Amino acid sequence: MKAVLSYSGGLDTSVCVKLLKEKYNCEVITVTVDVGLWDDLKEVEEKARRLGVLDHYTIDAREEFVKDYIFRAIKANASYEGYPLSTALARPIIAMKVVEIAKKEGADAISHGATGKGNDQFRFEAVFRSRAPGMKIIAPIRELNLTRKESIEYARENRIPIPVDIDKPYSIDENLWGRSIEGGELEDPNFTPPEDIFLWTKIKKTEPQVITLEFENGVPVAIDGDRAEPVDIVMKMNEIAGSHGVGRIDMIEDRILGIKARENYECPAAVAILTAHKHLEHLVLTRNELRFKEVVDSRWSELIYQGLWTEPLRKDLDAFIDLTQKRVTGHVRLRFHNQACSVIGRGSRYALYSKDAASFDDKTIDQREAEGMLRYHSAQIEMYEKTTNRDICQ
């Protein structure tokens, strides 16, 4: 049997190569999808080949990931329980690339290294089942009910090189939009995370920094007037925001299975860009658009968190979101300092803001005209009080 495995080079997927061969009698083809991995991808490939894989593919999907996934997430202000979606956002594109290779290679099965307690099993398999229906799915870590400690011990016994040990068994996932760290002592919600688990949000600048982020049709296109490619903008924003400690998140998260888990994230670019995007939307969208879009954004984010990228509703929601973003064009000035990202200015040719109308020192609007609206503003409340509270009427 030939199996195609989504391979990162970490503990679980490295162990899976051996398990697929030993326990499932599979020939293994590994696929590493670059969505902004900071590892040496050549080294990842060499490691896979040393483990005896039949073949290995490395796919550079960074540009596609930013344009088709991150930019959609920006338009939808995508967040779950208060943090920007990052790991969840990358899983669909990784899974789809794995399916493409599986079909190309005429594979009998597709495989992933997700556990039976986490979210990734849902995210991988929702795509696997919708894009490759009928193809066998193998999830060795889940099916063999392995703990992280058991996986580490298995790797040691089989001389599989892994980036973790018993003392620091952290599970780390990275892509252009964020970095997650979990496992080990971090599973205690009262444990203070050691500083050395963080890489992107170490404070390197002590003086405030102000930048201007420009948007067109809801997505960032330039920093301080310098236009750049989508991947470069995200990487630059990670660098700028991260150097001020912006984007570090420590939270209790409700997983798909209903399990509460302690999660640590680093999302500097995501926090900064989403902050700016929301403020620009408030400048150019109507009150009713904003209220309804909050509902749409929330549902969009839930679908992505649950791994349902291929759900038709996601495309339906995108249609509405894209329509609103035609006016989300303009600039936002951001100030970074001491782990804070603040909006200190914004502007757009589509702004629905009138200085004359809002100013207390202008008579463009005759204040006396508000009295007619006031007369009926609380009319139903007045009627309610009259019918239920007789004392008021006396």
Residues annotated as catalytic are: 12, 91, 120, 171
The torsion of the CA quartet 202, 207, 212, 217, rounded to 10 degrees, works out to 20
CB-based burial of residue 8 (10 Å sphere; 0-12 exposed, 13-18 middle, 19+ buried)?
buried
CA distances from 142 to 107, 139, 312 (A): 21, 6, 28
The C-alpha atoms of residue 212 and residue 345 are separated, in whole angstroms, by 9
Report the chain's terminal Cα–Cα distance, integer Å.
87
The C-alpha atoms of residue 250 and residue 266 are separated, in whole angstroms, by 9
Give which of 20, 194, 182 is closest to 107, Cα–Cα: 20
Which residues does 238 contact at the CB level (< 8 Å), separation at least 6?
176, 200, 268, 269
DSSP tag of 67: I
**Cβ density class 266-278: b for 16+ within 10 Å, e for less:** bbbbbbbbbbbbe
The C-alpha atoms of residue 27 and residue 4 are separated, in whole angstroms, by 9
CA distances from 141 to 28, 40, 54, 145, 256 (A): 16, 25, 21, 6, 18
Residue 225 backbone class (left: φ over 0; alpha: ψ -120 to 50; beta: rest) = left
The C-alpha atoms of residue 2 and residue 102 are separated, in whole angstroms, by 9
Strands 136-138 and 55-60: unpaired
The C-alpha atoms of residue 225 and residue 354 are separated, in whole angstroms, by 26
Residue 217 backbone class (left: φ over 0; alpha: ψ -120 to 50; beta: rest) = left
Tokens of 156: 């040691």
Beta bridge partners of 374: none
